Structure 1
Amino acid sequence: MAVLDRLVADNAASAPLAGKSVLVCTHATTATSKLIMAVTALGATVTYVPVSYSGEGVVGDIGNNSGVVVVEATPDAVHLNLPSTDIILEDGMRISRIVYDNPEKYRWKEHLYTIEQTTSGIHGFERSIKSGLLYPVVNLAEAEMKREMENSAATPESILSLLVSRESLTLSRKRVLVMGYGSVGRGVSRLCASHGSVVTVAEEDPVRRAVAASHGYMTVDVLGIDTSLAHQDVVVSCTPNGNGHSLELEQIMLMKNGALVVNAGTGTGEVTRDALAPGSYEKNRATITITENGDGCVTCGFEKMGMRKTVRIVCSATPLNLGCGAGTTDDVMDVVFAIALATMIGVDGQQLSNSIHNVGTDIEKQVATALLPPKYGLAPNHIAEGDLVREERPWGRLFRFVPAEGTPALTRFSTVRASFDPGATTEGHYHAVSEEAYLVESGSADILVWDPKDPKGERKTYHVVAGSHLSIPRGMAHRVFAGPAEEFVCVIVASPPFSFWDQFFPKLPV
């Protein structure tokens, strides 16, 4: 958590949060633990309220931090802790909703304010504006850095990882319907299209629909998606709680056999509850069987007039990042929590009115400065040396280059130096996400390349020697046959960085 660490290092001497009491209500992750350590390091005391889906082990680790008290999200706990709280950091309005349900019961400091980190939480506060906000709200959800890094990149990449790795889906030539063209929907559309999917965007707002069309996507009003659903292989909901347009069971019944529905929105309203309740019943002269899979997913089985089909709802009861997706990565949460910490340092609750406030540009610039390395990524007169990590393989060994701290550009690709024993052979495999370049240092090898989707199609063998280079596009299977006379040594560069989750082993070509 480099950005949090830099903020702490820059502010520790002045202890700007000394005497403050902070109530933190977020998911129990390693990033949350780091945030709480940073807040306490700057002088504050912390009461931590873990939300649903939180890991017990991480909660225990947080509770072991000095000066941290862990309590449950109950009215009694809020009643006990709120009067002494100066700042709330919450996820989904979970603390404030308890207060708003019965405000006469609670007391709070005059300068109390809350930092809300989710879009669904901000929507909750917006609905409360008519009756009057009880205390100021800082809108972390719409901070530009958070929105762009989390919504436009991290969540779409998590969806892609889920579909390609866990669901074993090849997106090339698949029809994908993206519901909603906000920042998440734009990111999902872009990534799916880059992998060869035929993307249709369903959007109620005509302006956003026009923008999607200008980006080259087919578009449809979300109110008229029924005719489109029957042709889709994947439907990804990227809307906040469905925006009043939840997928109904009758609509899911229209989808083709084996189709997937992915809940990537900001709540639990993307799919109607009827489609999630386990059981078997009759509807529209069809027998419907809904089964929980125990992995955060639901399978809907339909039988009508002797015909059968199934549709799988992925991350059915919770949004993707809280269900079975990869979640928001630590590097993104490092930035999100750094913005929250900088807000705690720089915002005085006594100067805020009872309204929803955007994060100040000065705060985001402070975090951006902490995120960006010094010029050229290195401190003056200092050369940063990365590490080489040796890993043994059945065919030989490799040395994986681990970039040094302060060189973030080098994390956008991975670099290994691979040494193949004479005559060694790798398993045939391909990468759905990464592209690779082989730069031969010494020895020789034959590299077989083929399309795994067409195992009887054309296959090519490339003979490479010292000084040769060969590029392997994503999706193309390849197998290395090292020469028999000497060790074959090459440097392999992969972009995006290599991941074991992105390694697939197809049948060998005929």
Structure 2
Amino acid sequence: MEFDIKDQGLAEKGKLRIEWAAQSMPVLRSIQERFRKEKPLDGLRIAACLHVTTETAFLAQTLRDGGANVRLCASNPLSTQDDVAASLSLHDGIPTFAIKGEDKETYYRHIHAALAHKPQITMDDGADLVGTLHSDRRELLPEILGGTEETTTGVIRLRSMAEKGILQYPIIAVNDADTKHLFDNRYGTGQSTIDGIIRATNRLLAGSYFVVSGYGWCGRGVAMRASGMGAKVIITEVDPLRALEAVMDGYQVLPMADAAKLGDFFCTLTGDMHVLRKEHFEVMKNGAIVSNSGHFNVEIDLDALEGMAVARREIRDFVEEFTLKDGRHIYVLGEGRLINLAAAEGHPSSVMDMSFANQALCVEYMFRNYKAFDKTVYRVPIEIDKEIARLKLASMQVQIDTLTPEQQKYLHSWEMGT
């Protein structure tokens, strides 16, 4: 079987770690059990460009058990867990093309390898797979029935493609599901980002100034966790509504030009480019620690920082020290890439359970209904969102109320007033 991984000898370790993750993914496990019986994806060819983690592995196994022919590649050069890639390729028969730390040429070669079996469904995290299809592999587009997209950055790119009439097949924005962004983005990114920063630096957050750039759901999660560990959190924003919300949540809100002078830690989560740039590096404290938890590494202007530096070295794993002309040091974590996956293991399994349940059910839904879709980006059907929430609550042994007939009638009527 064709695959490209770092070390086949890691397969057994990866197998055990995948089993460990699956224990905390009861919703996806219930879907897997149904898929095994019904085979709703029988014969379907899927190309998946996702972070190659233990949780992703369980998703890939679930799709395979549903009858799909799955090929997997990485959606970020630093997010791959090499033991997981080995286990998927050797134990599960899922061709995987991913090596942690791969260069850009290898990254895109792996995307092309994932497309080699002429997929009918794409699964993306950041839209690089879709972008490659539309730019370099257009001959494969007639085979594509539809796709899914996992993250905010990818949804932004795909909506831009749809608005410009470029997108050639329908895609469901998994990120827009309430059971995804309200939990994965907030609690998953919040915990795993702080985990990555601490693993990389072993620095104390308590008493420090922690600058969070972007107060979307990911930024909210990081701010919440940094504050909970005793940091003095500063928010930077361009959206007045999100900035107002941050103020009401008790955080200090400043322009980055001012926050840059105060911050001990910086974390960007905006989905935009050059959020931290030359004028900010010029005023940062000696020892400032800079990281990113947005999907791409463009949020920090690393070229500008390199141009300002007189020396550059790796002082710890995933920590690069840039020495400036005045003797100050600025530290960049994980090459400016997703710090929660570069230096840690990504989101906890229990929160990815809902995100990947959305992925599995949306692939099934698209396969059944692709003829009814136009070439644009769609939200996750509300019935899928609510079913995942129901299954998650059941797995947590949490019960909720149901409306009485009288309450249902009242909510659907206008006659009853004061």
TM-score normalised per structure 1: 0.65
Q: Residue 71 and residue 170 in structure 1: after superposition, are their counterparts in 2 closer, same or farther (change >3 A)?
A: closer
Change (3 A) 1:376 1:68: closer
1:16 and 2:40 correspond: yes
- 1: distance between equivalents of 2:207 and 2:93? 54
User: What is the CA–CA distance in structure 2 between the aligned matches of 1:355 and 1:47, rounded to whole Å?
Assistant: 24
Residue 70 of structure 1: how far off its partner (Å): 4.0
Alignment of 1:433-472 (within 5 A): none
C-alpha displacement at 1:375, in angstroms? 8.6
Mean Cα deviation higher: 287-296 or 135-144: 287-296
Structure of greater relative contact order (alpha carbons < 8 Å, 6+ residues apart): 2
1:304-319 matches, within 5 Å, as 304=326, 308-319=327-338
Match of 2:263 in 1: 232
Residues 258 and 238 of structure 1, relative CA distance in 2, 3 Å threshold: same
Distance 1:119 1:137 in 2: 13
Structure 2 residue ranges without an equivalent (≥5):
1-21, 99-107, 400-418
Residue of 334, 349, 374 corresponding to 1:353: 374
- What residue number does 2:408 align with? none
Contact 1:303 / 1:309 at 8 angstroms: preserved in 2? yes
* 1:147 maps to which of 166, 176, 181: 181
Q: Where does residue 64 of structure 1 map in the other structure?
A: 90
1:114 is paired with a residue whose SS is strand
SS at match of 1:36: helix
Q: Which secondary structure does the structure 2 equivalent of 1:99 belong to?
A: helix
Query: What is the rounded CA distance, in whole Å, between the counterparts of 2:396 and 2:241 in structure 1?
Result: 40
- Classify 1:376/1:292 alpha carbon distance in 2 versus 1 (closer, same or farther; 3 Å): closer
State the distance in 2 between where 1:375 and 1:309 align.
50
TM-score by length of 2: 0.78
1:322 Cα offset (Å): 2.6
- Counterpart position of 1:81: 117
Q: How far, CA to CA, are the matches of 1:345 and 1:296 in structure 2?
A: 38
1:460 alignment partner in structure 2: none
**Displacement of 1:218:** 1.8
Shift of 1:184: 1.4
- Structure having the higher helix fraction is 2
Shift of 1:326: 3.9
Contact 2:291–2:336 (CA under 8 A) maintained in structure 1: no
Cα RMSD for the two superposed structures: 2.6
- Tell me if structure 2 keeps the 8 A contact 1:289–1:300: yes
1:194 and 2:194 correspond: no
1:409 is matched with none
Question: How high is the sequence identity, in percent, across the aligned residues?
Answer: 23
Q: Does 1:177 align with 2:201?
A: no
Quick one: distance in 2 between partners of 1:160 and 1:76? 33
Alignment deviations for residues 337-364 of structure 1 (CA, whole Å, 9 cap, x no partner): 1111111223321121111001111112
CA contact (8 A) 1:171 1:197 kept: yes
Note if contact 1:177-1:234 (Cα within 8 Å) is conserved in structure 2.
yes
Query: Which of 108, 111, 115 is the matching residue for 2:142?
Result: 108
Partner of 2:313: 291
Distance 1:215 1:103, change over 3 A: same
Q: Once structures 1 and 2 are overlaid, which stretch shifts more, 173-182 or 243-252?
A: 243-252
Partner-residue secondary structure (3-state), 2:310: strand
- The amino acid across from 1:59 in the alignment is A
Could you tell me which amino acid in structure 2 is paired with residue 249 of structure 1? Answer: K
Q: How do residues 334-349 of structure 1 correspond to structure 2 at under 5 angstroms? A: 334-347=353-366, 348-349=369-370
* Per-residue deviation, 1:137: 0.9
1:269 correspondence with 2:294 = no
In 1: Cα distance, 2:258 partner to 2:92 partner: 58
One-letter amino acid of the counterpart of residue 231, structure 1? L
Instruction: Determine the C-alpha separation between the residues in 2 that align with 1:80 and 1:250.
Output: 45
Superposed CA deviations along residues 206-238 of structure 1, whole A, max 9, x for unmatched, are 1211111122222124xxx22332222222212
| Contact 2:212 2:233 (C-alpha < 8 Å) held by counterparts | yes
Q: Does 1:366 align with 2:387?
A: yes
Correspondent of 1:26 among 21, 46, 50: 50
**Corresponding residue SS for 1:88:** strand
